[in-house]
Structure formats: C-alpha cells, structure tokens
Amino acid sequence: MRKKILRMNMIIILIIWGTISGALAQPLNWADCVREARQNNPNLLSAAEKLKQAGLNLTTTKSDYYPQISGSASGQTSKANDADRSDSYSYGLSGRQLLFDGLKSQYNVATSSATFRSAVYSYAVTSSNLRLQLKKDFVNLLKAQKLVAITTEIAQRRKQSLELIKLGYEAGREHKGSLLTAQADLAEAEFEIAQATRNLEIAARTLCADMGYGQYSQIQVQGELAVSLLDPVTPDFEQLAGSVPLLQALIAQKDASRLSLKGATADMYPSVYASASTGKSGSDWPPDRSQWSAGVSVSVPIFSGGSQVAAVKKSESAYAQAQAEERNGRASVILTLAENWANLQDALGQLAVRQKFLAATEERSKIAEAQYKIGLMSFDNWIIIEDDLINAKKTLLDTQANAMIAEANWIQAKGVTLDEE
C-alpha cells in the first residue's frame, strides 16, 4: 500500500512539475524557433561570415581593374666630415594602370564571382540543413510533450482498471493472476511517465542547442503534429533538382574552376602597364623643383622553371574534378528528391491507416469495458483490447511525428531555407 501511495505521489509531482515549467516560459511556435535560430545558431552565423568574406574577396579582385595610386613624402638631413649640412625634401604622387594582361584580370574577377555564387548557395545549404534539424527538434519536443500527456492518461486508465479488477477479485470473480497483471500494468504506466518526462528535458535541451541558446532553458513548444496536404502527382525530379542549392553550389564551383583554368592560361601572356608620377623636390621646405614622368612597361614571362605549365595542368585537373563532382551531385540530388517524396507519401498513407486503427480500438475499448463490467467478457480478452488501445495511441503519435519529419526531409531535399519560412 505504501509503495502504491509513493507511486501516485510521483505522478502528481511530475504533473505539477510540467505545469510549473509551462508557466515559466511562453511556449514557442515554429516561427519563434526559426527566428531564434536565424539570430543565434553558431553554424549559421559562421556560414554568414564565410559569405561575407567571399563578397569582400570579390571586391578585392575587382580592384585590379582600377588605377593603383600612391603618395609619398620624405625629408632628409645629411652631413659628412667638415662639409656643410645638406637638407633634401620631396613629395609626389605615382600611379599605375593595367592596360593588358591576356584577360587574366577579367578571368580572375569572373572566378571570384563564381566563387561568391558558390558561397551564396553554400550558405543556403547550411540554412536548409539547419531548418531540417530544427524541425526535427521541434517535432520531437512537441511529441515528447504529448507523450507525457498520453502516458499520464494511460496511467489513469490503468488505475481505474486495477480498481475494477480488485473489486472482481474481492468478490471472487477474478483470480490473483488478473490482479497481479493489472498491478504490473500500472507500474509500467508510472515508469513510462517518468521516462517520458526525462525524454522531454532531452528534447528541450536539443532544441535549445540548435536555436543557439548559450544555456538550457525550460522551453515548451506549441503546435499540432499535422502534415500539409500535398499533391499526390509525382513531380519532375530532374527539373526540380536544378533549383536545389546543393547542386547550384556545385555548378558554381565548376564554373569557378573553368574560369580559373582560363586565368592560369592567360598568365602566360605579356602584361602591359601605363605608369606616371609627379612631384616636387628641393633643399628647402616646401620644395619648389617640379618633376614628372610617364611611360609604358611590358612584362613578358620567358622562363619560370615550369611553374606556369604546372599551374595550368593543376587547373585542368581541378576543372575535371569539379565536372565529376557536379555530375555526381546532380544524380545524388535527383535520387534524394525521389526517395524523400516516396517516403513522405508512405508516411501520409501510414498516418491515415493509424488514425482508422485508433478510431476502431477506441470503439472496441468502450464496448469491451461495458461487457467486462456486466460479466460478458473475460479479463484476458478485455486486457488485450485495452493494450491494443494504448498501443494504438502511442503508435499514432509516433506516426504523426514520423510524417512531419518525412515532410521536413522532403522540404530539405528541395533546398528550402530558414529565410523562406
């Protein structure tokens, strides 16, 4: 009797704990979780910085198109042995402008532009992957919250069943085996409440981590374990693959490798620069003697120890590698789209089946309980139907969560990002 009281007290404590924790913080919906992750997730912030660096690298490369201008100023005093001290001052400007380099600068800028596009798509891939993980976390926490409620309801049903069986045992209509089975079912239900509560905390911690929280917070989420109705018509996966960021990043990397190869080839052509300078110099400040110069210089690579030839061959190899990776990536993206779409259809079909099973077991349970109370059904048959109902509730919850995760996988396969929420 004492153990039974302790178990029931534990149930009450867990229910109170859940009520208190729910009052500690406003439940988060999906949009709230997306907003928090966009602002705080370290992986996404790191990807944003990489994208920023790629943009600045493009700006740096473009600077080769513009004149390179520098200014200078100097002052010097010198004295040797018995000679008088002499002073000299000068200041001026000098500039240099690229006229021709075999289009190397143009290819370098185009390469940096393609690399920047690749960085944009890579950021989208990071965001899309984070969306998938965040959705899984959200679904798992929502499922954990609902499982606590279901296990609490199951424990209450088990308690009522035990009381009913105990009356039958005391009246001589039930044997001790039935009573012990009912007691074991209640003990199992109480354990499942404690287990569900522990899983609830783990799910909350996981969501906190992926939202970028620095420490654990007793958060709750709100929403329904429901999947949007989708068109059952099979999409054109080959066409859909063209808009997936992962494939777009590989295409941009291939373009960058192709342009880099052209740039390496152009490095073997002469480079032509125009230069000019103007300034003043003299022994007094400010100097008053003007001077200027202007000219054109040509630099022709003659022999570099084979480094330029090796650079071209290396670029050819990198381009061939990028082409292979793009072909492999395209095939992989198409297959992933097909698999995830099929998995989602299976999950939706399974969900419809499990909803019908639950409706059927609920109706059977009502009838069986009424028959047991008036002696028209044995304990063994009744408890089987009760177990079926409990399993149907748990299975439906799992199926609902699996369907939402299948939907999230399909959305991620299409490359949808957090920014598109």
Question: Please, what are the averages of pLDDT over each run of 10 residues along the chain (421 residues)?
Answer: 46 46 71 95 95 91 83 82 77 82 82 92 96 97 95 93 89 88 93 95 95 89 85 89 95 92 82 83 81 83 79 89 95 96 94 95 93 87 91 95 96 94 76
* pLDDT value of residue 268: 79
* Torsion, CA 269, CA 270, CA 276, CA 277, rounded to 10: 100
In sign, the C-alpha dihedral spanning 251, 257, 261, 264 is positive
On whether the pTM is more than 0.85, the answer is: no
* pLDDT value of residue 185: 92
- Residue 163 and residue 84: Cα distance in Å, rounded? 119
What CATH number does the domain located at 2-67+92-270+294-299+309-420 have? Answer: 1.20.1600.10
* pLDDT value of residue 247: 96
- Residue 132 and residue 406: Cα distance in Å, rounded? 10
Look at the block and give the residue holding tokens 């009450």. Answer: 12
Put the strands of the sheet holding 68-78 in their side by side order. 68-78, 86-100, 271-282, 289-299
* pLDDT value of residue 392: 95
Query: Where are the chain's structural domains?
Result: 2-67+92-270+294-299+309-420
Angle formed at CA 26 by CA 22 and CA 30, multiple of 5 degrees: 110
Identify whether the C-beta of residue 329 lies closer than 8 Å to the C-beta of residue 241. no
Residues facing 222 on adjacent strands: none
* Torsion, CA 405, CA 406, CA 410, CA 411, rounded to 10: -30
